[in-house]
Amino acid sequence: MELLQTLLATLVALGVLVTIHEWGHFWVARRCGVKVLRFSVGFGKPLWMRTAADGTEYAVAAIPLGGYVRMLDEREGDVPESLRDQAFNNKPVLQRIAIVAAGPLVNLIFAVVAYWFLFMSGISAVVPVVGNITPDSPAAQAGVDSGYEVLQVDGHKVRSWSDVNLRLAARVGESGTIELLMGEPQRGFAHSYQVPISDWKVDLERQSPLAALGLEPWQPEFPAVIGQVLPDGAAQRDGLMVSDRVLEVNGEPVRDWLHLVELIQQSPGQALRLVVEREGRHQALQLTPGTRTLQDGSVQGYIGAGVAPVEVPETMQRTLSYGPVDALVNGFHKTGQMIGLTLDSIGKMIVGVISVKNLSGPITIAKVAGTSAASGLESFISFLAYLSISLGVLNLLPIPMLDGGHLLYYVVELVRGRPVSEQVQMLGLRIGMALLFSLMALAIINDIARLF
């Protein structure tokens, strides 16, 4: 069932974003008088195709990782004299620029609309109140106090942990100080902390910028109550059941769930004596955690069990909701922030500040699509908006084979007054293909590595 949900969510996400991207090219091409031969969602053999009265073929193809709009073009075949004025290559350079740029721009517009809808309907968020401070972390060095709400990061107002993380992510790789304004708004109290960073490196694959700074979000207390038992795990094998409350491990009282996890991780392959409360009675069990080897070579215990969920108090929740105009303004602002963060991340990856291990491919996209769909409509629409921004920004990069590569050629043509030579374009195509295929291969390798 989970696999089916992931597959459907991925197909919906890619189908929506590819369709609107290609529709952007299609719509502007038709407005510029270019004859469109085929509008295809997906590559390869068509699974469904219909020919309209004007001769345009509309198709859904077997490989859903993209799509295309095929336009009449003398560079791709003979064009009858009567149709030459409808060929893409015979249109003025400004019209060709508009046609090529329309696809990525529609992706960015879609993100604005998606965020506008979310801000209109209301976004659920946890109030960004700090719990524990990691010892010896940058936050600890700055004397940051726990229990206060983060109000601003570097002068920018934040209202959720997502906002905080995005602001911190923009500072990865930098030196100086991060200014945190924290306090208790209901009491009118606020204090500014200057958190020092020096060439701030964050392994984004393993931790968030928030964790790297040493800030842990406030969490309700999670008692050591079993909420999930995975099949074929040590917990199921040795008799742990859902709703069991673990009271002792080897005679040591268990404070909470995190304490239980710590005790288990420290005991790979070792028999543990547990006392659990089950249906009001105490019961003794013997549990032997399994072992797993981490990337750093260390060995850790695990039992295949999850914690019982705990309700977050209403005082620690808020809904970010706006009227139509303010929601639109916030939609533009959010989209602009995500575009800036995407470009900043690409730049930092090029210079080595961010590891290329953070590149993600289709497997990771599918997993995130499935997870976001399972979390609800709000989460899935947020994912669509973010993926649409990524698609739009990446397609505007000046890399041959991408829309941005074609735009580069047309801008050069606009400046020089004559097209870029076919030889230069073919050379660029080969370089672009090599670069894109290398990046795709690296992204898939990263995806496979994450699976294991």
Catalytic residue ranges? 22
Sign of CA dihedral 139, 141, 146, 150: negative
List of residues 6+ apart from 231 with CB closer than 8 A:
none
Q: Phi and psi of 47, rounded to 5°?
A: -85, -25
Q: Where do we find the tokens 């080595």?
A: 352
Beta bridge partners of 195: 178
DSSP symbols for 270-332: --EEEEEEETTEEEEEEE--EEEE-TTS-EEEE-SEEEPP-PPPGGGEEEE---HHHHHHHHH
Beta bridge partners of 192: 181
- Largest pairwise CA distance in the chain: 91
Cα–Cα dist 450/194, whole Å? 35
Whether residue 381 contacts residue 118, with contact meaning beta carbons closer than 8 Å, is answered with yes
Q: What is the radius of gyration, based on Cα positions, of the chain?
A: 27
Structure tokens at 115: 């965020």
**DSSP strand E in 23-173: where?**
36-51, 57-71, 123-126, 130-133, 149-153, 156-157
DSSP symbols for 155-211: TEE--SHHHHHHHHHTTTT--EEEEEEEEEGGGTEEEEEEEEESS----TTT--HHH
Whether residue 6 contacts residue 369, with contact meaning beta carbons closer than 8 Å, is answered with yes
Task: Name which of 245, 243, 233 is nearest 288 in CA terms.
Answer: 233
**DSSP strand E in 290-435: where?**
290-293, 299-302, 305-307, 317-320
- Enclosing H/E stretch for 2: helix 2-31
Task: Name which of 105, 115, 41 is nearest 391 in CA terms.
Answer: 105
Cα–Cα dist 355/449, whole Å? 14
